[in-house]
C-alpha cells in the first residue's frame, strides 16, 4: 500500500530537542529580566551613540533576541 502525503508527515521522527522546556519559574523570571535589561541597554546605546556603541548594540541586541526566542518558543513546563 502506498503512503499518502499526510501519513508520511505523521510518521516523521521526534525532533532531538523535544524534551527542551523551561522547568523552573525562576529560570523564566531570570530570562525575562535579562531580556528587559539587555533591551534597555540596547536602547540607551542607540540613543547616546558613545564609544563602541555599534558593538554594544550588537551584543545587547543579540542577547535580547536570544532571550525573546527562548521565552517565545521554548515551552514552560513547571515541575
Q: Is residue 10 part of a domain?
A: no
Domain region containing 42: 21-73
Q: Which three cell numbers stand for residue 20?
A: 527542551
Q: Is residue 79 part of a domain?
A: no
Per-residue pLDDT of the chain (79 residues; tens, 9 = 90+): 565 655 555 555 555 566 788 888 999 999 999 999 999 999 999 999 988 999 999 999 999 999 999 999 999 887 7
Through-space distance between the first and last CA atoms of the chain, rounded to whole angstroms: 44
Q: Which three cell numbers stand for residue 54?
A: 555599534
Q: Is residue 65 part of a domain?
A: yes
Q: How many domains does one find in the chain?
A: 1
- Residue 26 DSSP one-character state: H
Q: Is residue 7 part of a domain?
A: no
| Burial zone of 64 (CB within 10 Å; 0-12 exposed, 13-18 middle, 19+ buried) | buried
**Residue 3 to residue 20: CA distance in whole angstroms:** 31
Q: Is residue 44 part of a domain?
A: yes
> What is the reported pTM?
0.72
Amino acid at each position: 500500500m502506498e503512503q499518502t502525503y499526510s501519513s508520511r508527515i505523521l510518521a516523521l521522527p521526534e525532533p532531538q530537542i523535544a524534551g527542551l522546556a523551561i522547568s523552573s519559574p525562576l529560570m523564566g523570571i531570570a530570562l525575562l529580566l535579562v531580556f528587559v535589561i539587555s533591551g534597555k541597554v540596547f536602547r540607551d546605546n542607540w540613543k547616546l551613540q558613545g564609544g563602541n556603541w555599534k558593538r554594544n548594540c550588537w551584543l545587547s541586541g543579540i542577547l535580547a533576541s536570544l532571550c525573546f526566542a527562548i521565552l517565545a518558543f521554548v515551552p514552560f513546563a513547571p515541575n
